[in-house]
Structure 1
Amino acid sequence: MEKTDFDTLIERSKNIRTAYHQLELQHHGSKWTIEEDTLAFLTDAGLVGRNTMSQQGRWPKTETDAELKHKLGECVWWLTVIADRMNIDIKDAVEHFLTKTENLLEK
């Protein structure tokens, strides 16, 4: 599989979200709010936890690797979309987190 740079990931994420907004308008008459997007992210994050438990033999479900991979990717997508909708530069946010954390760990 080809690697995706962060800028491309952001653009593709925004394009997918725009397409989903069209479906929401079609089915519900309105686009999801940022709060609804965040709730959907939290639901998917919970499924990452459950699928991780399953993968590690701590939950009675088998064959979860494909779903876990999908949900991990979906969570990154959601975070990218949510940051964009809240006018937060996700690249800057990640860089800030990494630098701050690296500096804390170097002490």
Structure 2
Amino acid sequence: MTNLDIIIERSLAIRKRYHELELTHHGSEWTVEEDALAFLTDAALVGRHTMSQQHRWPKANTDEELEHKLGESIWWLVVLANRMGIDPKEALDNFLTKTENLVK
């Protein structure tokens, strides 16, 4: 098992636990669309924290917050890919191969 396989496995286990909490608190699991919206919210915060880190936004920000949101965004991408039946490793490999060929 590769490191990426372990990351995917851990990511999906965490998402499963969140689904259990959603059922407890709201009576239903979040939809794929709700997961996508949560990802977009966190991705936007990556942008805001990056601006702050680069002294282009007047907020005291820590690298810890930025690192957390970067990690969370990667986690969301793994979760979303899984929920939509897309292998994240294959998607990444296909993207890299296509892009490498474009920039040759």
Regarding TM over 0.5, the answer is: yes
Match in the other structure for 1:46: 44
Specify the alignment match of 2:61 in structure 1: 63
The alpha carbon displacement at 1:49 in A equals 0.3
In structure 1, C-alpha distance between the alignment counterparts of 2:4 and 2:80, rounded to whole Å = 15
1:58-97 equivalence runs, <5 A: 58-97=56-95
Whole-Å separation in 2 of the counterparts to 1:53 and 1:20: 30
Is it true that 1:12 corresponds to 2:10 in the alignment? yes
TM-score, normalization: structure 2? Answer: 0.97
More deviation in 43-52 or 55-64?
A: 55-64
Any unmatched runs of 5+ in structure 1?
A: none
Q: TM-score, normalised by structure 1?
A: 0.94
- Structure 1's consecutive aligned runs of 4 or more residues displaced over 2 angstroms after TM superposition are none
Q: CA RMSD in A?
A: 0.9
1:79 positional shift: 0.2
